[in-house]
Structure formats: structure tokens, C-alpha cells
Structure 1
Amino acid sequence: MKKIIIATFCAFGTLPLLPNSLKGIPMYLLFVSSIVLTVNSKNSIGFPYKKVTVASVLYLILIPSLLYTENLVRIDMKLSSRIALLLVPITFGLLNKSRFKISEEIVEKLSKVYIICAIIFACIIIAYLGYLGVFTNQMNLHDAMAYINNEMHPINQHAIYASIFLAVPLIFSMMKFLKSERKGKNLLYVLLEIIPMSIALTLMSKKGILLATLATSIFLIIYYYNSIKSRLIVLMSFGVFLVLMFQVPRVKTLFSELVNPETYVQVNSKNSTSMRYAIYYCTISKIKESPIFGYGLGDAKNELKKCYEENELFSNPNEYYNSHNQYISYYLITGIFGLLALVFFFTNLFYKGIKEHNGLLIGLVIFFSITMLFENILERQSGLTIFSFLMTSLYFYEKE
């Protein structure tokens, strides 16, 4: 049974190549397997209620908001769509109860599967963009993203989540290199892994993901390299990479939006920073109106949409944009308590990573905490699944 669980654990590494309709399968398989293992375990221990509660706090904090939200239509769907935030911690609690430990060997197996699948995914994206005519200027990158989201069957994926599926294995590859005792000999292999994923990630051109990946990489380099010379060499290499990255026209355009005064004057549907500025205007306005408890899981979306309509921010009055910031989203739903729960979750994991010298956990905490400043990744299955699995498994991981 333990071999089946290990195989299911590693199956999470195939998420980049799984169709969206199948992305929840590894989670449910692991959940069922953990129940079977616990039932058949003859040497089980007590269920780790405290750890499971901490790991599932981002789901549990949503439940009290049902007491004061007015709109309960399809509230079951809103809860079930986030079930991974509860189901995954319970799964690892059951594994812990049955004395199944997440070992270094299992994490390394997952890393290998994930990196291989991500490289294949990156190559498919690059090839598909070539097929669409992006590299021959027959189609621009902005329009190509819509094709990747809707037409790249069966693994079509929104550019945000496609970027996350590429950025996380980049962190895995970097960790493998930083922890290696023979860095010179392993450098070529790491470059062969990193290059296709980096190219595809750059082409996705998602500012938040790119910034989160770079910030995580720089932190880990400083964390693992003690000598100033080594840090300078690696950081200069990153500088060269950044210069090359900004040669991609869409990347240059996206970052130039940040310093363009017109971005903050009127809403421009072709300017992502302008759109976010308008969205943040409404989210902050709504937070000021209900700063303690928020609006509840059922009403937060409607309140935000109402603000868009009242201020005529977007040309289509029926169009809805989420808050594009997970911290703000939790604040809108559950008030200050939701924001504190999210901060507590990341702080607790970061402290565990520092205390146990777990660079992978530290890196992923930094990556996801920065990414959530720009995206609501806990509101779609693709983001939920990979986030809840990685964060929970590393939270339950114990060094031998």
C-alpha cells in the first residue's frame, strides 16, 4: 500500500500535463489511499489535529462568513471548489496517523517527475506558439495566450497557472543544484532543465509570476552561498538573464506599463496594470466599508461587481474581474480575520523552513506569498491543487 501512496504522491508531478478535468484525480486517489492505509495500520498513532487545523486554516476561516453573508445561492459550489484546502491536510493527517512519513527520497522522486513533465509542457507551449506564428510575427503573444487558454487541447491552461506549473519546477531544479556537492558537473544538467522552462515562462509574460520566481531565486542564492564571490557570479548570471528576458517585446511592454502615467488615469483593457489599478480601487473601497468581517463568501463577488458598475470602470457592465490579489480577496470575504489567517499560514511555514533549514519550503513560501500579491490562485482548481499539495506535504515533511 505504501508503494501505491508513493506513486500517487509522485503523480502530482504530472499536473502540468493533466487536462483540467483530471487535475483533481491525484488528490482524491491520495485521500482514498490514506484512508485504506490508516484502516489497515496496526501501529497507528493519534490523529494530528493541531497540524491539520493549521494546514487547513485557509479553508476553515471561510466557514464563519456563512453566518453573515446574504447570498447563499450556490454556496455549496463555492465551498466545494476550495475543498482541496481541507481535503489535502486531512489526507496528510491520516498518513501521519498511520506512521507514513514524507521522506527526502519521496520528495526527490516527486521533483524528478515534476521537472520532466514541466520540460515536456514547456516544449509543447513553445512549439504551439511557433505553430500559431508568434515567432514569425503572424500573431502577437497577447492573442496567443487566449489560444493556450482555450484551444491547446487537451492541456489548455490559463497563462497564470501555466506559469505557476513552470515556475515551481524551476525552484525544484535550483534547489537540486544549490544542494549538490558537485555543482560544476551538475551545472549542464540543470541548465538543460532550466532553459526550456525559463523560455516558456518568459513567453507567458506574467509579471507577478516572473517577479516571484526571480525574488525566490535571489533569496535562495543568498541563503545557500556564503562567499561574496559566489553570490556575485550567480547574481551577475541572473542579470544577464534579465537583460535577455526584457528583449521579449511583450515582457518589455508589460513592465513599461508600470512607469507610464497614462496607466493610472483611465482604464485601458489592453493595459493589464491599468486594469489592476481600477480593480484595486474598488477592492480597497469595499474593504473600507466593511473592514472587520468583510462580506462573506456569498456576497464578496457581488459587492465587487456592484462597485465596477457604479463607477463604470469597464465597458461591459456584466464583465467581472476578481480582486487579482489573494490577500485582498480573503479580506473581502472574511475581513481582517481572513487576512491574518493567510499571513499566519505563510509565517508559520516560513518559520518551519528556517528552523529546519528546508530551502525548498522557504523558496515555495516566498514564491506563493509574492504570487498572491498579483493573482487569486486559490480560486481555481489548478492553483488550489498544486498549492495545497506542496505546502501541506512540506509542512508534514520531517528530516530523518
Structure 2
Amino acid sequence: MITTYIILFYIKDIPNHHFDWYLVRFNLEQQIKIHGTYISLWISIAFLFITDYIIHLKKIKLKYGLIILQLTSLMSLIIVNSRMILFSTILLSFLQIYFYFHKKIKTYKLIIPLLLTTILISLFSNRYKDDILFLYKNSIKDSSRYTICYCSIETIKKSHYLGLNNETIQEKLNDCYDKYGFKELSKENINSHNQYLDFFLKGGLVLFISFLSILLIKLYKSFKTKNFLYFLITLLFTFSFLTENILVRQYGIYIYLFCDILFLGSILGNKSHCCDKIEKS
């Protein structure tokens, strides 16, 4: 439903956005009152679910219908334009196909369409072209993303890697933005835009290592048990955390917990409990 709504809204809103991708996302967020990152996460997770279902499905006619649904999902992801999530979804969906068909399909047959898809989407949206042009004409140090990351790391160092009071973090980041001439960032109270750095700022080295360890354990366990869908969804979050503070809002926490509730028990089963049941029976 959400993918159809996004596509219809995009078409209806053409007189307002005139194919400007920045305005498209802004207008959409104003309409549905949800940040584009969280919309993209839900769609991306659904995309991986459906891809997994298509892979195991034997009814060919139903597959065609689901493939059409996947195409509408991809279109909506392009419209919302959360770059990291969009490209992660493309990469992970190809990886998903590889996991199940690696014995039948040669690797290069997947790499070539993956590269072509990535290039086409990059050329299709002016958001990516603007980024490429900016980096061509300017140093990466002149970008706001670099400054946000640099100021976050500087603030972490000044806290001696022990974390800070949550109420003072934004103030210290704003001081750093102003120091390097990015006053528009401080005016908008831009946070670290990186979940790893956000936890490092709030809880220091202990929270950072704990959070990273949880992700690595889930990746290891899901891959070892061949629960590839959970492995790929965890990878999706791992990539998304690099560019957004997903877990600072309820939307992000709900999505993250929803996936863990569905899958975590399947990779952390209590073997001793199972054995006890067999012995008693």
C-alpha cells in the first residue's frame, strides 16, 4: 500500500516538485509526517522478504505478480531517495539471489547487472549527480557530511571516550560546526547522523563496543545457521546505521525490534532445553 501511495503522490505532486528530487522527498515527508529514512527501511525490509519468498516459490504465475510488486517497491525507494538504504537494498537483493543460486549462477552474471542497476539509478536521480559534481569540484572536507562526522569524533575525543550527558551533546556539536564555518548545521541542530557515533557520544567506548558486538553476533549466528534473510536484514541495518541515527526515534526502534522478535529466537535457540524434552519423551 505504501509503495503505491508514494508513486501516486509523486505523479500527483509533479506540478509542485517539477521533478526536483529534493522537493519530492520534502513534500512526501510533510504529507505523511514520517522521515524518509524510516519509510525506506520498511519498504526495503519488505523487499527482502518478498525476494526470499519469490526464490522459494514454485508457482510461476504468482512469481510474476510478486516481481511487479518488487518493481513498484524499487520505484518508491528511488522516489524517497534514502541513498544508503536504496543502494544497500540493491546490493543485498543480489547477494540474496547469490546465496540460494551460487551453485547454478556464475558470480559475474550477477555482478554485471548489479553494477548496471547501480549506475542507472545514480544517473536517474539528480541527488546522486549533485553529490558526484560536488566532490569533483570541491574537497571532501568541504562537505557537510564530513564536518558532521569530524565534529562527532572530536566531541568523543574531548569526552575521553567515556560518553557525555545527552543534554549537552548537541550543544557541543553545534559549537564545532560553528568553528568550521558550517553555521547552517548548528542552526538546524544536526545530530551525528551515524548510529555508531551516536552511541559513542552517549555511552562512550562501553556502549559502542556493546552495540557493535550485538550486531556482529547476530551476523555471525544468522550466517552460521543459514538464516540468510535475517543475515541480510541485519546487514541492511548495519549499513543504514552509517548514515542515520535510526534508533533515536520510535519508528526506528519499532522496525529494529520487529525484525529481532521475528528472527532472534531462530538463531539463538536453547539446545539444552530441546535435548531435555527429547530425553523426557
Q: TM-score range by the shorter chain?
A: 0.7 to 0.9
Q: Secondary structure at the match of 1:295?
A: coil
Cα separation, partners in 2 of 1:355 and 1:241, compared to 1, 3 Å: same
- Aligned partner of 1:308 in structure 2 is 177
Cα separation, partners in 2 of 1:342 and 1:173, compared to 1, 3 Å: same
Deviation at 1:254, TM superposition (A): 4.8
TM-score normalized by the length of structure 2: 0.85
Is the counterpart of residue 333 in structure 1 residue 202 in structure 2?
Answer: yes
Q: Secondary structure at the match of 2:146?
A: helix
- Aligned partner of 1:321 in structure 2 is 190
The AA in structure 2 aligned to 1:357 is K
Distance 1:176 1:332 in 2: 40
Q: Which of 103, 111, 129 lines up with 2:10 in the alignment?
A: 129
- Aligned partner of 1:143 in structure 2 is 23
Q: Secondary structure at the match of 2:9?
A: helix
Is the counterpart of residue 360 in structure 1 residue 229 in structure 2?
Answer: yes
Deviation at 1:145, TM superposition (A): 1.5
Q: Which of 151, 163, 166 lines up with 1:282 in the alignment?
A: 151
Q: Which of 253, 259, 275 lines up with 1:390 in the alignment?
A: 259
Q: Secondary structure at the match of 1:299?
A: helix
Question: Structure 2: which 5+ residue stretches go unaligned?
Answer: 275-281
Distance 1:315 1:295 in 2: 23
Q: Which of 216, 220, 225 lines up with 2:96 in the alignment?
A: 220
TM-score normalized by the length of structure 1: 0.61
Cα separation, partners in 2 of 1:331 and 1:183, compared to 1, 3 Å: farther
Q: Is contact 2:195–2:245 with CA below 8 Å preserved after alignment?
A: yes
Q: Is contact 1:286–1:332 with CA below 8 Å preserved after alignment?
A: yes
Q: Which of 53, 56, 61 lines up with 1:179 in the alignment?
A: 56
Deviation at 1:240, TM superposition (A): 4.0
Cα separation, partners in 2 of 1:252 and 1:276, compared to 1, 3 Å: closer
Deviation at 1:260, TM superposition (A): 2.4
The AA in structure 2 aligned to 1:242 is T
Aligned residues with identical type, % of pairs: 21
Deviation at 1:283, TM superposition (A): 0.7
Cα separation, partners in 2 of 1:341 and 1:265, compared to 1, 3 Å: closer
Which structure's relative contact order is higher, taking Cα pairs within 8 Å and 6+ residues apart? 1
Q: Is contact 1:171–1:217 with CA below 8 Å preserved after alignment?
A: yes
Question: Structure 1: which 5+ residue stretches go unaligned?
Answer: 1-119, 267-273
Deviation at 1:316, TM superposition (A): 6.7
Deviation at 1:229, TM superposition (A): 2.9
The AA in structure 2 aligned to 1:210 is L
Residue correspondence of structure 1 range 72-91 to structure 2 within 5 A: none
Deviation at 1:324, TM superposition (A): 0.8
- Aligned partner of 2:217 in structure 1 is 348
Q: Secondary structure at the match of 1:397?
A: helix
Q: Is contact 2:98–2:105 with CA below 8 Å preserved after alignment?
A: no
Query: CA-atom RMSD, angstroms?
Result: 2.6
Distance 1:276 1:137 in 2: 25
- Tell me the matched-pair count: 269
- Aligned partner of 2:279 in structure 1 is none
The C-alpha deviation readout for 1:264-311, integer Å capped at 9, x for no partner, is: 253xxxxxxx22111112111112222431213333222212222333
Q: Is contact 2:91–2:114 with CA below 8 Å preserved after alignment?
A: no
Is the counterpart of residue 169 in structure 1 residue 50 in structure 2?
Answer: no
Residue correspondence of structure 1 range 79-118 to structure 2 within 5 A: none
Cα separation, partners in 2 of 1:389 and 1:220, compared to 1, 3 Å: same
Q: Secondary structure at the match of 2:161?
A: coil
Cα separation, partners in 2 of 1:388 and 1:301, compared to 1, 3 Å: farther
Q: Is contact 2:195–2:246 with CA below 8 Å preserved after alignment?
A: yes
The AA in structure 1 aligned to 2:48 is I
Cα separation, partners in 2 of 1:316 and 1:371, compared to 1, 3 Å: closer
The C-alpha deviation readout for 1:145-186, integer Å capped at 9, x for no partner, is: 111111x2xx33222112112111111111112333x38555
- Aligned partner of 2:129 in structure 1 is 253
Q: Secondary structure at the match of 2:199?
A: helix
Is the counterpart of residue 292 in structure 1 residue 147 in structure 2?
Answer: no
Residue correspondence of structure 1 range 38-57 to structure 2 within 5 A: none
The C-alpha deviation readout for 1:87-127, integer Å capped at 9, x for no partner, is: xxxxxxxxxxxxxxxxxxxxxxxxxxxxxxxxx11111111
Is the counterpart of residue 159 in structure 1 residue 36 in structure 2?
Answer: yes
Cα separation, partners in 2 of 1:148 and 1:137, compared to 1, 3 Å: closer
The AA in structure 2 aligned to 1:140 is D
Give the structure with the larger helix fraction. Answer: 2
Residue correspondence of structure 1 range 57-72 to structure 2 within 5 A: none
Distance 1:199 1:191 in 2: 12
Cα separation, partners in 2 of 1:187 and 1:148, compared to 1, 3 Å: same
Q: Is contact 1:166–1:201 with CA below 8 Å preserved after alignment?
A: yes
Distance 2:160 2:126 in 1: 37
